[in-house]
Structure 1
Amino acid sequence: MLAACTSQEEAPPEKKSIEVLMVDNPQMLELKKLTAEHFTKRTGIRVDFTTVPENEVREQVHKDFSAQSGRYDVATISNFETRDYARRGWLRPLDSFITKDRGFDQSDILLPIQLSLSGADGKVYAEPFYGESSFLMYRKDVFDELGLKMPEKPTWGQVASLAEEADRPEEGMSGICLRGQPGWGEMTAPLTTVVNTFGGTWFDQHWKAKLTDPGFADAAQFYVDLVRDHGEKNATKSGYAGCLRNMKNGRSAMWYDATAGAGPLEADGSPVKGKIGYVPAPVEETKSSGWLYTWAWGLQKSSEQPRSAWEFISWASSKEYEKLVGREIGWENVPAGKRESTFDRPQYKKAASAFGDATEKAIREADPRTPGVQRRPTVGIQFVGVPEFTGLGDSVSRELSAAIKGEQSVAAALRKSQDEARKVGAQYRKQP
């Protein structure tokens, strides 16, 4: 009888293979190359990867996890999806695995990243691969040449004045580069951080749309005016990649964007390596305003290989993996921004000497729970954490992009956008 009871309580054996669906960015592809030799060889767990472009991966993950098909055991999700997926019961909580895996060291994960990957119930639902915030990058040599001084913690008003003084269109250099390309993950991301620090919000805590209120309207007008007056050429076609090219090729004096942009600017062979300064995201009414984003590993609740899946997640988010990348590929390529210990490693500190401290500070100061001056209905800084925000953010950014082109006023763009936001808010006010 004892033997029978024991066998019933023991978990069934798992297959030694898992399916992973992930975004095809460069650091993920490096992981794919390293897995067989450094994970499968040690654990015996084969990992079959499906890699998908960023603009498609969310759709595929949503389709598979919502159906709970179990086709993929693990998928890359961001902090945008995590809490919603957890609420819907699509993700397996990871707390029991974390408790048993003493080598993983959950306490080493930066607190804002931990909070952004936790559910409303306080449980952990994803582990980060890398994290980022946002900050202001500027050309130190250009500022010295023009006799300009960047404040240690600039306001947006100061940035606008500096952009005006640094703007030299006759020499092919804009005062600043800001995303003007429509998209909830493009223009809407930096715009929302400006909205937050100007005192605005997309929705109040009761899901009342606030896009035509002064805080949001003032921020949107400021953003559009700054891009039109001192931003890059063809701004409505410039997203993250376009502004990175502009900054790297000497066509912008400043750039406000993701901390991830610093690596390419400081890479060997970059024409601006050593010429860039990094300061916190500009503020107005808040103490900080940098965003928070992470690509992370989520475990599908219906997976039949949860223990094997956790072994992969643990390895892919580990200190051990970061050390492997540093040794095999180079410390500048480490998927950083998630662990406190990374910023203390001498090898990483040397590789990221120009921007490492500023990146860590930006992530530590990011607060996804209270990013503005008022309470919010969801967790998130540069987004509203509900699925409908992808469509809403796309729509609003298209309207404001048209304002940048001069096709309509900002006020007209926001009146249309307010109607769309009301529809989203109404759905959630009806929910218990």
Structure 2
Amino acid sequence: MKFKSLLLGACASVAMVASAQAVTLTIATVNNGDMIRMQKLTDDFKKQNPDIDLKWVTLEENVLRQRVTTDIATHGGQYDIMTIGNYEVPIWAKQDWLVQLDDLGDNYDADDILPSVKKSISVKDKLYAAPFYGESAFTMYRTDLFKKAGLEMPEKPTWEFIKKAADKITDKDKGIYGICLRGKAGWGENMAFVTALANSWGARWFDMDWKPQFDSDAWKGAAKFYVDLLKQDGPPGASSNGFNENLALFQSGKCGMWMDATVAASFISDPKESKVADSVGYALFPTHAKYDNHGNWLWSWNLAIPAGTKHEDAAKKFIAWATSKHYTDLVAQKDGWSNVPPGTRQSLYANKDYLDKAPFAKLTLQAMQAVNPNQPTVDKVPYKGSQFVSIPEFQAIGTAVGQQFSAAVAGQTSVDQALQNSQQLTTREMTKAGYIK
């Protein structure tokens, strides 16, 4: 009996030590399909790291941005790992708000990250986040509807062609809409698309003296085109639709065309999730007939560690796992090569298995490589950024302007009034911030 008691006591002591050493990582992430898949595959991580538990906080992207921005700016310490974009990374790193990530292990191979993506999440050549997936934007369309309408999608479509095609494809009696575009207000929601559209029309957010340009002919043309197109050929409630809402519409067969993030391709071409998987085609993001500027969109969702976390080593282990070549192989094994996170590693685009299974792969890479964040539009600009402006003030300004455009799509205000309001509020905020003297 004495021996048994000693044994039980020893086991209890070991359990208490193990419990004391266990770490729980709180991870804030976005409710996109790739992140949901990652959560389902974390048993693989747990097998390798039984002493690390994971607590997920999964949020809609506008809410995620608000929560993590507030938390990191106030040193709230709610999260050990944050899912943030290449907009936030350099701004926050310069504030010493993020942990440097140049030590993710000997097998991590940071040199394999696509140069454009790596540069966008580095400061002074030091990595401050690890990319989970990267994207540009392109055109997705229904080949069956195009064939029925006697249309052929050009490799490099113009917005003029897109308008004609949308008019021809739209059949509201059958619940088919020629175009689906982001209308939900947010600097990373509707303004990501609207800024890319505006870039292709030769518009810019600011001139070289940081004066807002919403009163320019380029913005007037782009904004009117966008609003009129959605009103005539878009689905009902377009002003409430963001990336996920349009993805669901396209997958259910409601959209003839959709211009959005290249990452959507794996979901609309997956027969398990998409009713139209066998009739999807791809082309470059449209441009204005006057210019050869295909939108300029470069984004990555990245995993970063806020400075001050108590679990830095454990957080690095998770990030190294989630953004590794091993994770890519894991997704390929479980869900097929076409579903692996795209747009981060050069080796993926040299992988024949991936190229054979993902018809959108080459065009995704082509679109990402064509982006020039230093020159996103036709005329010179004082800022960097593709579908956003890389200044701290843009988060608030972009969302406020996004509300104006969303209201115009909903018919609550005119295009002219939305542009006038955008000009005034942006001028006010840029003056307050000291950009305009």
Same fold, TM-score > 0.5, yes or no: yes
Question: Is residue 2:86 matched to residue 1:79?
Answer: yes
Shift of 1:94: 2.5
**Matched residue of 1:158: which SS?**
helix
Corresponding residue for residue 424 of structure 1? 429
Question: Is residue 2:295 matched to residue 1:289?
Answer: yes
- Is the deviation greater in 42-51 or in 78-87? 42-51
What letter matches 2:402 in structure 1? S
- Is the deviation greater in 413-422 or in 213-222? 213-222
What letter matches 2:281 in structure 1? G
Residues 33-432 of structure 1: matches in 2 within 5 Å? 33-35=40-42, 37-43=43-49, 46-54=52-60, 55-68=62-75, 70=77, 72-95=79-102, 97=103, 101-119=105-123, 121-269=124-272, 270-284=274-288, 285-352=291-358, 354-429=359-434
**Matched residue of 1:361: which SS?**
helix
CA distance in 1, matches of 2:354, 2:231: 38
**Matched residue of 2:278: which SS?**
coil
Tell me the C-alpha RMSD between the 2 structures: 2.6
Instruction: Please say if residues 135 and 290 of structure 1, whose CA atoms lie closer than 8 Å, have aligned partners that are also in contact.
Output: no
- How many pairs are equivalent? 412
Change in 2 beyond 3 A, CA 1:50/1:154: same
CA distance in 1, matches of 2:163, 2:36: 39
**Matched residue of 1:257: which SS?**
strand
CA distance in 1, matches of 2:63, 2:215: 32
Shift of 1:159: 1.4
What letter matches 1:164 in structure 2? D
Q: Tell me the TM-score normalised to structure 2 length.
A: 0.85
Shift of 1:85: 0.7
Change in 2 beyond 3 A, CA 1:205/1:49: farther
Change in 2 beyond 3 A, CA 1:231/1:48: closer
Corresponding residue for residue 9 of structure 1? none
Shift of 1:33: 4.2
Shift of 1:323: 0.7
What letter matches 1:76 in structure 2? T
**Matched residue of 1:294: which SS?**
strand
Shift of 1:154: 1.0
Shift of 1:40: 4.3
List runs of 5+ in structure 1 lacking aligned partners. Answer: 1-14
CA distance in 1, matches of 2:429, 2:131: 29
CA distance in 1, matches of 2:183, 2:160: 19
**Matched residue of 1:143: which SS?**
helix
CA distance in 2, matches of 1:68, 1:343: 39
Q: Tell me the TM-score normalised to structure 1 length.
A: 0.86
Change in 2 beyond 3 A, CA 1:288/1:19: same
**Matched residue of 2:215: which SS?**
coil
CA distance in 1, matches of 2:177, 2:77: 50
Q: Identity of paired residues, percent?
A: 36
List runs of 5+ in structure 2 lacking aligned partners. Answer: 1-20
Runs of 4+ off more than 6 Å: none
Change in 2 beyond 3 A, CA 1:125/1:377: farther
Shift of 1:47: 4.0
Corresponding residue for residue 6 of structure 1? none
Shift of 1:91: 1.0
**Matched residue of 1:429: which SS?**
coil
Change in 2 beyond 3 A, CA 1:393/1:336: same
What letter matches 1:366 in structure 2? V
What letter matches 2:95 in structure 1? R
Instruction: Please say if residues 296 and 373 of structure 2, whose CA atoms lie closer than 8 Å, have aligned partners that are also in contact.
Output: no
CA distance in 1, matches of 2:84, 2:386: 17
From 3, 16, 23, the counterpart of 1:17: 23
Change in 2 beyond 3 A, CA 1:200/1:431: closer
